[in-house]
Structures are given as C-alpha cells and as structure tokens.
Structure 1
Amino acid sequence: MFAAETKAIIRSVGAEKNLISNTNLNKQMDLLTVVRIKRGHFWEFPKYKKIDCTLPDLLGEEKFSPDSEEKVLVEDFQTRVETGGSGKLEGGYEGKAEVSVSSDIVDGLVQPVSIKIKKVNLTAVRSKFSGRTINKQTLNLLKLKEKDKLAFVYETVYNTGPVTMIRKGNQQGCLSASFQKMAKMCVSVNKKEDTTFTVPENSTFAFSLVEINLEDGEMEIQLQSWDHKRGGLTSDALNCEIMEQVRDRIEMKESILMPLEGLPESTRGDLLKSLREVLKEEDALSELEETLDQSSKGSYECPQSVAVSSFMYLLDKSKVSTQVKDAALLLVSAMEALPEEMLRPLTSCGPEILTVLSQLVENLKDEGEACLPESPPVPLQQDGELHWAAKLLCSSDETLTELSEILDLPPEVLLEVLALTVLGVHMLQPRE
C-alpha cells in the first residue's frame, strides 16, 4: 500500500519518467547493483532480473565507493483516511425487508515519513569503468542473450525511517425480514479488522538504471538513464478496442497451449508437480523459460536448477512434439510475468477452483466481462488466497490499472498472462 502511495508522490513531482517500481526487486536494490533487462518471448515489455554483483564486481574492483548526492523528495508525508457511515433499506410488496449498517474505517500512516532520492556520481562512474573489458569467464556467467541488455542502479528512492501502516475497521449491522407474517428473522453482524505492518527504514521503493553497452566485452556506460517504457497504453483505462485485442490474443495463444491437453494424464500430472517444484527455487522459473527457449531451437545447456533439470527430463523422456514444447514455453513465459508468490497457490489449487477461474476466462473472451458465481469456492472469496486472480479477471478498468501499477505490468499484458496461466495450469490438471 505504501509503495502505491510513494509512486503517486513520485509522479506528482515529475520524477517518475525513468524510475522503475518492481515489487519483486525494489527492496533488494542498492546503488551500482547490476541488472539484466530482457524482453519477454511473447510480450514486448521489459523484465528485470537482479544479478548478485555490482558494477565494480564485474571488473574485480574490490574498493570503489563513488560519490553520491541525496535530496529530499517528500518531507513528513502523512496520509490518513477515516470513513464513517450508516444506511437503511426497506422493501415492500407482500413482505418487507429492512437492512441497517454502520461502519467506521481508519486507514493510513501511524507517523509522518520522509522520502529521499539518492544518485550516484555518474561522471565518476563513467570515468572509472568506460573502456574497460570484462573477462570472458565473467561474461559467460552472465548468460546474456541476443536481445538482453545490462544495466546498473544509478538512482534509488527510499524512506528515511520505518513506515508503519495501520488499517482499523468496525462494522455493525442488522438484517431483519418478515414474509407474509409467517416468519421473522434478525441477523446481527459485528466485524472488526485491525491490521498493522512496518516497512523498515532505507527500503528502496523505486530505482533508475543506466545501460552498459558491451562490444567484445568492452564496457561503455550511457550518458542517460534507461528510459523505462511500459508501452501499450496511452491512457489509464482499457478501451473497447484494446479489450478486443486482449481477447483476440488470448484466443490465439490458447491454441498454442492446446497440445498440453492432449498429453497422457500421467504426463500432465507429472509436469504440473514438476512446475510446483520449480516455483520453490528462487529464479528457477526464469531459468526454465530460457532452457525451454533453447530447446525449441535444438539443444540446450544443462540447467543449474535441479527442479528445471527434472522438468526437462520429463519432456525428453516423454518424447513430446515440438508443439508441446512450444506450449510449455508459452505457459512458463506467462507464469514468469507474474510474481512467484502469487503463482504457488494457483498451481496448487484443486480442479474445482481452476474450473471456476477458467470459466471466468471464457466469459472474458466471449462477453468481454466476467463475474464470480454466487457461491464461489473459499479460496476465491474475499479473504481467500486466490481472490486476487478472481478480482483481476472480473476487474473494472480502475481496478485493473491499480493492480498493473503494483505489479509493474501494462494492464492488457497483466490480464493476458493471468488468463493464459489459468488455462495452461487447468489443462495440466488431472481430469476427475
């Protein structure tokens, strides 16, 4: 929540143009951290992967502390929202119904917080590292692909003190009804909610990158920061034309996924179990995507991850067709666009839940909108671990835009990758 508020502040002062907010990476980012930028196999948006080294590490420099400058972006920022209200509804006809509700909600920061921007002295960095060569062994370890770019963190936005968020809610209500004086019922509701969490001080909420050009291993550092373009949208809403394009792309790519459904049930079940194991290893899903891409072009390098090796062994042992490998690559690429902590419950849930989510995707394709059934499975309900998926597939333009800001994906891509993930995982589920 605070990250969203921070982005709004950054945008309001005009500092967001080249800043990247990525929930998977932000808190890990320090100045000079090396990042790999790559384009998705099926979606034209940049994906960022932190590399566990700094710019000096690439050249074996043990001691390098460049000058940096800091300035206050926002001082003593405070946000607090209090909502209170009551309502009453009466109905007539042969019976009558009455509903009365009152609620009070407090949502915001416990104490003010200041936000700073810290920038490295880019002139000093260029003077130190431009024109120098990275040795071949280090280059091989980076595993850069043809379209990959290398960059380093040049600027960070962070909080100067701990940030404590609080949400308190109290809701009371009474529902009474009598129908033809035959029965009378009164149900009282009392709901209290109290949530508090603290973000540690010096947590990075956004960062900027400077690209490193490589020519035969020789580095040249760009003069300007990496232009973070999300692309795809010129407004904050998905208009009808864009939604039509999203539906067309889902239908087109669904046909690529279809070979998964034709696999023997035992093979599908084994592949799904193997995917769950991949999600338990950090960065393994990204490695699986790269390995599947190599495999689609012929041979592939032996994966470092045990889980990835197991998945590829299953494909090779089953002697699947090229179409099945393409389907697996599409599914993994769609999954890789979503945070891994969101994927684990999605790949582990039962057939009933995936059937409901798949129906939402079908409704989205056919009618352009979807809504949950009256009594959805518990994980899809308000406090369920997969409510986010149902909410996204049934979302309004406003909700979709908010979620895309949090996940740092264009709204139309976010909707597409979730839909394809749901369809692909559902195809791998054993039929009951």
Structure 2
Amino acid sequence: MFAAKTEALLRNTGAQKDLISNCNLNRKMEVLTLVRVRRGAIFQFPTYKAMNVTLPELLGDLDFSPELEEEILVKDFKTWLVSSGSGEVDSEPGAVGEAHLSAKYNSVDGLTESVSINKKRVDLSSVRSRFSGRPIGGGTLQALKLKKNDVLTFVYEMVYNSGPVNIVKEDKKNGCFSAGFQKMANVLFKGQSKEDTTFTVPEKSTFAFSLVEVLLQDGAMEIALESWSHKRRGLFQDAESCDPMEQARDEIKMKEGLLQPLEELPVSTRIDLLKGLQDVLEEGEALSLLEETLDQSSKGQPEHPPSKVVSSFMDVLDESKVSSKVRDAVHLVVCAMDALPEIMLRPLTSCGPETLTVLTQLVDSLKDGDEPSLPACPPVPLQQDGELRWAADVLCGSSETLVELSAAWDRRPEVLLEVLALAVLGVHRLQEGNGADD
C-alpha cells in the first residue's frame, strides 16, 4: 500500500514523468548502479535488471565520487485509510509537493508515523565529463552479457523514504486489500480480507528511479543527455485511445492457438513441466532466467543456465524430445508468467483443476465479448479471501480496474489482461489429466 500511495503522490506532484516504479522493495537501486533494460521476446514491455556493479566500478575508476543533489519531495507524508469507504493521502501543508488525494477503500490501512519522501540525483554533467569517450574493452562488454536489443543504463536518480515505515493494515469489509507485502510493492486487488497485518518498509527503500542510457559506439562509451524513457524508445505502441479490453481480447485470440501443442503431450510430460514451473517459481529471478534460456534455445543458441531448477526444466524438454511447436508453446507460457509478479503465480501453478476450469471459463467469456462472472459458489481459492481471487477480479474487472492495477505493475492494461489470460490457459493445458485436487 505504501508504494502504491507514494506512486499516486508522485503523479500528483508531477514528479512521475521520467520515473519508473520499483515493483520489488527488496531491490536496491542506488545511483550509478548499472541496469540492463530488455524488451520481452513476445510481449512488448521492458524489464529492468540491476547489476551488481556501478558505472565507475565497471571501468575501474573507484575514486570517482560525483556530486549528488538531494531534495525533499514531500515532507511528513502520512496516509490513513478508514472503513468509511473513502480515504486521503496528505502531506504537511506548505511542504514541497503538497498534495491531497482521495481513494475508495473499506479498510483501516495506514502508516503509524509520518515520513519524508526524498529524491537523490547524480550530477549528470560530472558523469559525462568523466566517462564520455572512455574506451571499453571487449572483455568488459562480454562480462555484461548484453544481448542484441538490450539497453545499458545507469540509475540517474532515485526516490526513497527517509526513515523506516511501520504500516498497519486491518481489513474488515469488501474493498481493496494489499497482497505480498514484503516481496512486492503491495499491489492493490479488489476482494475481501479479514486479517490484521503490520510490517516495516526499511529506511531508504527505493520505490522509484530514473535511468540514463550508456551508449556504446566504436569501442567507446558515451552518456546520453537526457533520462531514458521506454515510450520514447518504441517499446510500446501509442494506443492510449484504444479500448484495453478489446486489444487484450484480440491478442488472446491470436496467441491461444500457439498453446494447442501442449494438449498433445503425454500426461507424464505435462506433469513434469508443471512441477518444473513450480520449482522455478520458488527460486528468486529464476523465471526470468528460464525465459532468457528458452529464447536463446529457440534461436539455436542454447546456454547452460547457472540455475539448477532452470537446467532441470530444460532437461525435461530435451529428454522428452518435444517438437519445436511445443517449445514455442512453453516459451509463450513462460513469457506470460514472467510479466506477472512471481509471488502471485505460485498459487496458480499449484491449484487444482476445478479452480483452473473456472478461471479458464472466465477467459473464454472474455474472448467471446461477454461479461465474465464467477459462479455463485466458486472454489475456495477464488472466494473473497482466496489466494487466487485477484486473478478472477482482473479477468472480471472493468477497464478502470485494469488501469489501476497496471499502474502498480508498470504494465499497460491490455498487456496485464493478456498475459494473465495466457498464463491461465497455459497452466490449465499442462494440468489437464493429471488428477490434481483443490
């Protein structure tokens, strides 16, 4: 909830223009940290991977210490949502970025104390003076493991909380609730929750950052003059005037046929692949590594992944001698799953056939242009406090719901709906015939 509220606050103060939401508060994004930007192989959205090295460290310039500019975006930020069905996000009157936001929630949800929202920015002119034109060796480039269309960037500015934030949550009625508190940026989902939750967001957690591109030309490095924007780089089509629901419906229909080969696999192979996906989701960032491995394999450039669970998954494909169409279908499922937070996918890959059948029916209704709705008595995982209720609400949601959720996940609304639908269809095809129970 804290990350969602601060993101809304940044939009209201106008500070969100070049910032990218950090969907994992465990991921630190200090200034000058190198970040690889990669476009999805199938779905057009960028992914950001922070490297364990800074720009000066990459070039062996450990003495470089650029000037930093720091400012307080909002002073004494505090949010408290109550069960009256409405809430407010306030900053201290007269503070930088003064804001007053409202939202509709039926819960008690807030910070136990106020906190300042700060922004730190590196002096870009000093970085350009120091590194532009510097030669960069082939061995150094090879160590970065950049692929053809990857973009190399570094963190130019970061937005963070000045101190630890203690968050209290108590949900009692139908409304919105936060999920996956400690592992993701507390995405909002419609539903019902009866639990009380408290947790602490550590001091200086990065919840937004901006990047500057590092240009590599003729063996030399150049620093871009402005911050990097995925929209300027053409990773998204300008389709703001189009209906997200209609766009998602068309894409789902077009790609669904690519999943058909999964139904022809022996039940034992499907079980092994589904179990492999479950194992991959238990290891942090392994799903993205699996997607990269499948992408390279499809191009005839197989790699030996450093992850045991990814290697095991690829062994199942190799030992089963599946066709190229099956590999493409598996690649599509993994790409769709990689576009969603991993913590939310674990229940999807391990739930029973009754739950997946209902979710698949919702997808079918969506494709047919109907209004998807849950049965009167849905399976337990899809009930109000169920662990997969979020998926049902996304599939049944309005365009407004999709816009809200896509902002939290940094995905266009039509992409969010499309990848969830294809993930559901893919897992359902792998599970069919294995006799699992809810």
TM-score by length of 2: 0.84
Q: How far off its partner does 1:170 sit?
A: 6.0
Q: Write the distance in 2 (CA, Å) between the matches of 1:27 and 1:328.
A: 28
Q: What are the within-5 Å matches in structure 2 for residues 3-402 of structure 1?
A: 3-24=3-24, 27-84=27-84, 105-168=107-170, 194-229=196-231, 231-232=236-237, 241-402=243-404
In structure 2, C-alpha distance between the alignment counterparts of 1:147 and 1:20, rounded to whole Å: 20
Q: Unaligned stretches of 5+ in structure 2? A: 86-104, 174-192
SS in 2 for 1:6: helix
Question: How many residues get paired?
Answer: 393
After superposition, the Cα gap between the structure-2 partners of 1:105 and 1:334, relative to the gap in structure 1 and judged at 3 Å, is closer
Whole-Å separation in 2 of the counterparts to 1:115 and 1:228: 25
The SS at the match of 2:295 is helix
Matched AA of 2:224: Q
Distance 2:277 2:332 in 1: 13
Q: Deviation per CA, 1:193-226, whole angstroms, max 9, x where unpaired?
A: 5333321221111000000111254211101111
Whichever structure has more strand as a proportion of its residues is: 1
Tell me which moved more, 344-353 or 206-215: 344-353
Query: Which residue identity lines up with residue 46 of structure 1 in the other structure?
Result: P
Could you tell me how far 1:315 is from its partner in structure 2? 1.3
* Aligned counterparts of 2:196 and 2:349: Cα–Cα separation in 1: 30
- Write the distance in 1 (CA, Å) between the matches of 2:278 and 2:195: 33
Write the distance in 1 (CA, Å) between the matches of 2:54 and 2:22. Answer: 19
Do the aligned partners of 1:20 and 1:228 also contact (CA within 8 Å) in 2? no
Are the counterparts in 2 of residues 24 and 339 from structure 1 also a CA contact under 8 Å? no
Distance 1:77 1:205 in 2: 15
Larger CA deviation: 46-55 vs 215-224: 215-224
CA contact (8 A) 1:36 1:50 kept: yes
After TM superposition, the structure 1 stretch with the greater mean CA deviation from structure 2, 199-208 or 416-425, is 199-208
| Residue equivalent to 2:177 | none
For the residue of structure 2 that corresponds to 1:79, the secondary structure is: strand
2:43 partner amino acid: W
- Mapped contact 1:111–1:163 kept (Cα < 8 A): yes
Q: Work out whether residues 162 and 198 of structure 1, in 8 Å CA contact, stay in contact via their aligned partners in 2.
A: yes
Percent identity of the aligned residues? Answer: 61
C-alpha deviation, 1:283, in angstroms: 2.3
Q: CA deviation at 1:22?
A: 2.7
Which residue matches 1:416?
A: 418
Equivalent-residue separation in structure 1 for 2:350 and 2:136 (angstroms): 43
Asked whether the 8 Å contact 1:269–1:430 carries over to 2, the reply is no
Change (3 A) 1:62 1:414: same
Letter in 1 for 2:383: Q
Deviations 1:380-417 (A, max 9, x none): 22222212111111112222212111111111100000
Pairwise CA distance, 1:169: 5.5
- Aligned to 1:281, the other structure's residue is in SS state coil
Instruction: Give 1:192 deviation, angstroms.
Output: 6.8
TM-aligned CA distance change 1:310 to 1:104, over 3 Å = closer
TM-score, length-scaled by structure 1: 0.85
Shift of 1:129: 1.7
Q: How far, CA to CA, are the matches of 2:300 and 2:236 in structure 1?
A: 32
The alignment partner of 1:201 has SS state of coil
Query: In structure 2, the residue corresponding to 1:294 is in which secondary structure?
Result: helix
One-letter code aligned to 2:51: I
Secondary structure, aligned partner of 1:28? coil
Distance 1:134 1:385, change over 3 A: farther
Q: Contact conserved, 1:33 with 1:51, CA < 8 A, in 2?
A: yes
SS in structure 1 of the partner of residue 390 of structure 2: helix
Once residues 43 and 121 of structure 2 are traced to their aligned partners in structure 1, the CA distance between those partners, rounded to angstroms, is 31
Distance 1:369 1:131 in 2: 57
3-state SS of the aligned residue for 2:368? helix
In 1, distance between residues paired with 2:41 and 2:107?
Answer: 44
1:308 counterpart letter in structure 2: V
Matched to 2:333, the amino acid is L
1:90-115 deviations in Å (ceiling 9; x for gaps): xxxxxxxxxxxxx9853333222211
Say if 1:19 and 1:206, in contact at 8 Å, map to a contact too.
yes
- Name the aligned partner's letter for residue 15 of structure 2: A
Deviation at 1:50, TM superposition (A): 1.5
Aligned residue in 2 for 1:98: none
Equivalent-residue separation in structure 1 for 2:64 and 2:370 (angstroms): 55
- Whole-angstrom CA distance in 1 between matches of 2:145 and 2:371: 42
Q: Is the 8 A contact 1:72 1:117 kept in 2?
A: yes
Query: Following the alignment from structure 1 to structure 2, what is the Cα–Cα distance between the partners of residues 430 and 11?
Result: 44
Give the whole-Å Cα distance in 2 for the aligned partners of 1:217 and 1:390: 51
How far apart, in 2, do the equivalents of 1:368 and 1:144 lie? 44
Distance change >3 Å, CA 350–CA 233, structure 1 → 2: farther
Contact 2:170 2:195 in 1 (8 A): yes
1:287-335 CA-partner distances (Å, limit 9, x unpaired): 2212212222224122222222222222122221111111111111111
